[in-house]
Amino acid sequence: MKWPSGWPTGLLALLIAALDSHWSSAPSVHALPGPAAWTSGRKLAVRYQVRELWHHGYDHYLKFGALMSIPHLNALIADCPFQLAPLSCTGRGPNWLNPADIAMNDVAGNFSLTLVDVLDTFVVLNDPPGFEDAVRKVIQWVSFDVNTKPQVFETTIRVLGGLLSGHIFAEKPGQPFHLPWYKGELLRLAHDLGERLLPAFHTITGLPYARINLRHGIPKGESTDTCTAGAGSLILEFGTLSRLTGDDRFEKAAYKAYFALWNRRSDIGLVGNTINIFTGLWTHPEVNGIGAGIDSFYEYALKWYILSGEVEFLDVWQDSYASVMRYSRASDGYWYRNVNIHSGDAQYSSVDSLSAFWPGLQVLGGDVENAVKSHLTYYNIWRGFGGLPEVWDMNFHQATSFQYPLRPEFVESTWYLYRATRDPFYLDIGERILHDISIRARVDCGLTGINDLRTNGRDDRMESFVLSETLKYLFLLFDEENQLHADDSHWVFTTEGHILTLDNALLRPISPARRKLRRVESLQCPAYSSPVLVYDEPHNHSRDSGLTGGITTRGDFEYARQLVGRVASENETRWWDPDGWCVLPKHDPYTYNFVLSAHGEVAVEDLSPSAEKLVPVADGYLVHNVTGIRVHIVSRLDGKGYDIAKLGPYAVKTGQKIYFNDSQLILAPPGSQSGSPNSPRTPEVQLRFYLDYVDPLLQLQGPGMHDVISETVVPAATAMFGGDPAAPLSPGDHPLRFGHGDGVHVTRIPDNSLGCAPYAEDLDGAAVVVARGECTFIEKLILAQDAGASGVVVLGTEEQHINPSADAEDLADAGPEINDVAIVVLRRPDAQLVADMLDSVERYGLGEVRLVVEPLDGGHVDANQPANEQKGEEAGRVKAEDPPRVLYLNNHPLINTRLLV
Residue-wise pLDDT for 686-719, tens only, equals: 898 988 764 444 444 554 555 667 788 899 988 8
Which of 381, 178, 849, 542 has its CA nearest to residue 390?
381
Of 270-274, 289-293, 559-563, 595-599, the least confident: 595-599
Sorting pLDDT into bands at 50, 70 and 90, what band is 866?
A: very low
Determine which one of 120, 154, 558, 711 is catalytic. Answer: 154
Of 83-87, 103-107, 743-747, 809-813, the least confident: 103-107
Structure confidence at residue 242 (pLDDT): 98
Structure confidence at residue 534 (pLDDT): 74
Strand 630-635 vs strand 620-623: parallel, antiparallel, or unpaired? Answer: unpaired
Determine which one of 120, 127, 185, 409 is catalytic. Answer: 409
Determine which one of 185, 299, 390, 452 is catalytic. Answer: 390
CA distance 226 to 220: 16
Beta-bridge partner residues of 222: none
Contact assessment for residue 135 and residue 162, using Cβ atoms and an 8 Å cutoff:
no
Structure confidence at residue 417 (pLDDT): 97
State the DSSP H helix or E strand holding residue 450, giving kind and residue range, or none if neither.
strand 449-452
Average pLDDT estimate for 273-280: 97
Sorting pLDDT into bands at 50, 70 and 90, what band is 879?
A: very low
- 488 catalytic per annotation: no
For the stretch 518-545, pLDDT in tens is 665 666 777 787 887 776 665 555 555 6
CA distance 115 to 625: 63
Q: Please, what is the angle between helix 368-385 and helix 409-421, to 10°? A: 130
Of 9-23, 430-444, 479-493, 789-803, the least confident: 9-23
CA distance 639 to 387: 34
Average pLDDT estimate for 647-675: 74
pLDDT at 683 over 50: yes
Structure confidence at residue 20 (pLDDT): 64
Structure confidence at residue 618 (pLDDT): 83
Strand 446-447 vs strand 442-443: parallel, antiparallel, or unpaired? Answer: antiparallel
pTM over 0.85: no
Which of 320, 356, 323, 351 has its CA nearest to residue 337?
351
Percent of the chain clearing pLDDT 70 (strictly above): 82
For the stretch 538-589, pLDDT in tens is 555 555 567 888 899 888 899 999 999 999 888 888 878 887 777 778 777 8
pLDDT at 292 over 60: yes
Sorting pLDDT into bands at 50, 70 and 90, what band is 19?
A: low
Structure confidence at residue 377 (pLDDT): 97
For the stretch 752-777, pLDDT in tens is 989 999 999 999 999 999 998 888 89
- Chain mean pLDDT for the chain: 84
pLDDT at 420 over 90: yes
Backbone angles phi, psi at 252, to 5 degrees: -65, -40
pLDDT at 7 over 60: no
pLDDT at 869 over 50: no
- 154 catalytic per annotation: yes
CA distance 486 to 172: 18
pLDDT at 892 over 50: yes
Structure confidence at residue 667 (pLDDT): 57
For the stretch 365-403, pLDDT in tens is 999 999 999 999 999 999 999 999 999 999 999 999 999
List, as one string, the DSSP characters of 712-764.
EEEEEEEPSSS--TTPPPPTTPPPP-TT-TT-EEEEE-GGGTTS-S--SS--T
Determine which one of 295, 299, 310, 643 is catalytic. Answer: 295
- 779 catalytic per annotation: no
CA atoms within 13 A on the CB side of 302: 23
For the stretch 158-175, pLDDT in tens is 999 999 999 999 999 999
Average pLDDT estimate for 97-102: 64
List, as one string, the DSSP characters of 873-899.
GG----B-PPPPP-EEETTEEETTEEE
Structure confidence at residue 123 (pLDDT): 98
CA distance 844 to 173: 63
Cβ neighbour number for residue 628 with a 10 Å cutoff: 17
For the stretch 228-237, pLDDT in tens is 999 999 999 9
Contact assessment for residue 403 and residue 389, using Cβ atoms and an 8 Å cutoff:
yes
Contact assessment for residue 557 and residue 29, using Cβ atoms and an 8 Å cutoff:
no
For the stretch 43-82, pLDDT in tens is 999 999 999 999 999 999 998 864 443 333 344 444 444 6
CA distance 296 to 291: 9
List, as one string, the DSSP characters of 499-542.
EE---GGGSPPPPHHHHHHH-S---------PPEEEESSTT-GG
More confident residue, 249 or 617: 249
Cα 390 off chain centre by: 23
Structure confidence at residue 594 (pLDDT): 86
Which of 384, 349, 436, 373 has its CA nearest to residue 565?
384
